[in-house]
Chain A
Amino acid sequence: MSRRTKSPSGVIDAPLDVAAQAKAREEGRPSVRDGRLKTYEPGANVGRFLELLGRRVSRPLAVSLTACVHCGRCAESCHYFLARPDDPTMTPVWKADQIRKIFKRHVDWTGRVAPWWAKAGTPDGDEDLNRLKNVVFGACSACRRCTFNCPMGVDTALLVRFTRGLLTELGIVPEGVFNVSRDQWETGNQMAVTETDFLETIEWMRDDLRAELGPGADIPVDRPDCDILYTINPREIKFDPRSIAHAARIFHAAGASWTLPKWGWDQTNFGLFSGDDALGAYVSRNLYEAAERLRARRIVISECGHGYRSTRWEGYTWSGYDQKLPTESIVAVLRRYLEEGRIVVDPGRNLEPVTFHDSCNIARSGDLVEEPRQVLRRVCADFREMHPNRQENFCCTGGGGLLAMAEYRPLRLEAGKVKAEQLKATEAALVCTMCHNCIDGLGDVIKHYHLPMRVVQVLELVSRALVLPAGS
């Protein structure tokens, strides 16, 4: 770790806060007790880090670690660097170099023979590992924009996630990462929603739905043999259950056969952010097994960027589970319903100018770029693009789990400058996104930069435009 360079933000020197870890140990929390969740022990961490590094590097990672030519072309693709153009520590290549130099020193040959020649090095101790933590957790939202702008195909975001995973094994993580991981390990969902909370919230939404649509309307839980197993983000239960009601209205209008599972309903996955593949595997397996248990014919994922990426793509790899069922986003389902005429919409009900924010995890690590646009053009009277867009869109600032890491908030919001400029230029009243993280990330940017707009989701706009059959 370069001691010469100190980020003016102070992020690099943010201390390691282990109070929550100590408390969890003291309380004998199950995830800590049985070793699923690692806590920090001062001592031989550098040795363990190097051992893990050597053992876990995969071939795509190894080539990303060796292929960089230090051309610096990735710099301007990063929203952190755009906010701080004079700070080299904000460039993707500098961030990746912090792990690259350790790899070179211990795994690669030139760095082993002549470390100074290749700027290779070993972390001096836990303090250096803590600095590394602050780089990979605090100054990168793992948005993958730099990856898409590297002529060599170096996947810096992948390196960042990998490094996070090594540090997670040592408990050298921001407190928020520890807390959320603990909750997801212990309750099966990121927000520690209990089964009672879950069922009561669903019941409340079901009552509202029936009041509007009649006794035939339902939000089924654990119903076997449905076409759709609908999986959601715990934020929907905790803070925004209307999104479940929107989905239910639309499923009702389309005559869909669907259910939520009582267990395995969380499609989000903090393992993606912490780099902990074991947590990733546990959470996604819960969900795939729920689909099997209920004999659902398709898994549908509510609007969530990292949840979609985790459940649709990475989860199968983490959990060693061969994909058996179609697994898709609710937005793809909405598009199909519109295309097939299964729902009728009136764009006149969404008259405000609407723009769309592409979630990084969906546009750059997934496949849904045109689908949300096709839906929005059908349900909004004034849809306008934000620039740049699609795979070139900028992060909402909340990617990579940063919303759970309060210590990096000032830098995150500063890095939101380019997003704020993008939003402002659209002159839209609503910014639509298909991601719950982005709702909060964009909400923060809007508040911080005093923008006159509000964040909505695709489901909300479709539900608003939905023309229900007479008699409903």
Chain B
Amino acid sequence: MSNLLRTFENEVQLAALAFMGLVYALRLVWIFRFRVGRERTVAVGREGAGTGYSLMNIAMPWAMESTRTHPGRYLEFVVLHLGIAAAIAASFIIPYGPGLFETAWVRGIFRAFIAAAGLAGLARLARRLTNPVLREISSPDDYFSLVFLIVWLAAGVLALPDRPAAGEGPLLAFFGLTAFLLVYVPFSKIGHYLYYPFSRIYLGRTLGHRGAWPPAAAKSAGAGPARKGAA
């Protein structure tokens, strides 16, 4: 292994990760600077249950009409994110647990996931470019994030170490792009995973408090403080 590749796989990745961690920490400070109001009503439901329902919503394709009516798009989302997870995992396994990739079927599974994610990304990009509604709401960042992701996933497919003849080029490309991804994401829409827990928790907490989430049957005492006398 060349020194350049070793540096890319280790120091460059760690520096990029540290940068991302730092920017995210600043981002968290930024989020926490916004005030949050105090709930003054007596709960009907359970905030914890509402929050749990809200966070798990993503794994319940039956829960939302928008996923129920478009199962294909939901599948696409799952495939995209599983592939992303596989590529991120690969960026750690290659330098720190290379033994795992010595098994052909493990490499095969990773490659299949990452390739499928690339195709899902392409499908999304095509839709974003051709659907006038999506085009109108898209920003350069939306396009770039997808294009970049597709290129990065393609590099991931090529980088899995079973083609010695290809040399270090694919690995250098993959780790270079991964480093860029880590630096870029906090500034782009890809940073949505940082906000996801917040947006879902606040919504889930409110709706859980009110007994709206999880959707449930009628309650017998939904009015607030304990009843004082018959009404």
**A263 CB–B CB distance under 8 Å:** no
Are B41 and A323 closer than 8 Å at their CB atoms? yes
Q: Are A64 and B199 in contact (CB under 8 A)?
A: yes
Residues B170-218 near A (CB distance < 8 A): 187-189, 192, 195-196, 198-200, 202-204, 206, 210-212, 215, 217-218
Are B40 and A391 in contact, with the CB atoms below 8 A? no
| B198 and A328 contacting across the interface, CB-CB below 8 Å | no
Q: Which residue on B lies nearest to A109, using beta carbons? A: B187
A88 in contact with B217 given A59-B36, A148-B64, A298-B231 (CB within 8 Å): no
Q: How far is the CB of A135 from chain B (nearest CB, A)?
A: 14
Q: Are B34 and A59 in contact (CB-based, < 8 A)? A: yes
Asked if B192 and A69 make an inter-chain contact with CB atoms under 8 angstroms apart, the answer reads: yes
Closest to B142 in A: A70
Number of A-B pairs whose CB atoms are under 8 Å?
A: 198
How many residues from A make CB contacts under 8 Å with B? 81
- List A59-96 residues whose CB lies under 8 Å from chain B: 59-64, 66-70, 72-77, 86, 88-89, 91, 93-94
Expressed in whole angstroms, the minimum distance between the Cβ of B137 and any Cβ of chain A is 5
Q: Does B1 contact A (CB under 8 A)?
A: no
Tally chain B residues at the interface, Cβ within 8 Å.
Answer: 67
Q: Contact at B192–A367, with CB atoms within 8 Å?
A: no
> What are the residues of chain B within 8 A of A109 when measuring CB–CB?
30, 187
Q: Is A97 an interface residue (CB 8 A)?
A: yes
Known: A155-B203, A365-B212. A60 touches B36 (CB 8 A): yes
B135: chain A residues within 8 A (beta carbon): 88
- Within the complex, what minimum Cβ distance (angstroms) separates B17 from chain A? 20
| Minimal beta-carbon separation of B39 from chain A (angstroms) | 7
Is there contact, CB below 8 Å, between B198 and A317?
no
Smallest CB gap from A319: residue in B: B40
Scan B30-46; emit 1 where CB is below 8 A from any A CB, else 0: 11101111111110110
Q: Find chain B residues with CB under 8 A from A66 CB.
A: 195
> Within the complex, which residue of A151, A256, A332 is in contact with B58, where a contact is CB–CB below 8 Å?
A151
Q: What is the CB-to-nearest-CB distance from B51 to chain A, in angstroms, rounded to a whole number? A: 11
Cα distance, A67 to B64, chains bound together (Å): 18
Chain A residues contacting B231 (CB-CB under 8 Å) are 227-228, 256-258, 297-298, 300, 326, 333, 336
Q: A256-B231, A368-B222 are in contact. Are A67 and B195 (CB under 8 A)?
A: yes
Interface assignment of A453: CB less than 8 Å from any CB of chain B? no
User: Which A residues lie within 8 Å of B13 (CB)?
Assistant: none
Residues of A within 8 A of B (CB): 5, 57-64, 66-70, 72-77, 86, 88-89, 91, 93-94, 97, 109-110, 116-119, 147-155, 227-228, 256-258, 297-298, 300, 312-313, 316-317, 320-328, 332-333, 335-336, 363-371, 374, 388, 390-392
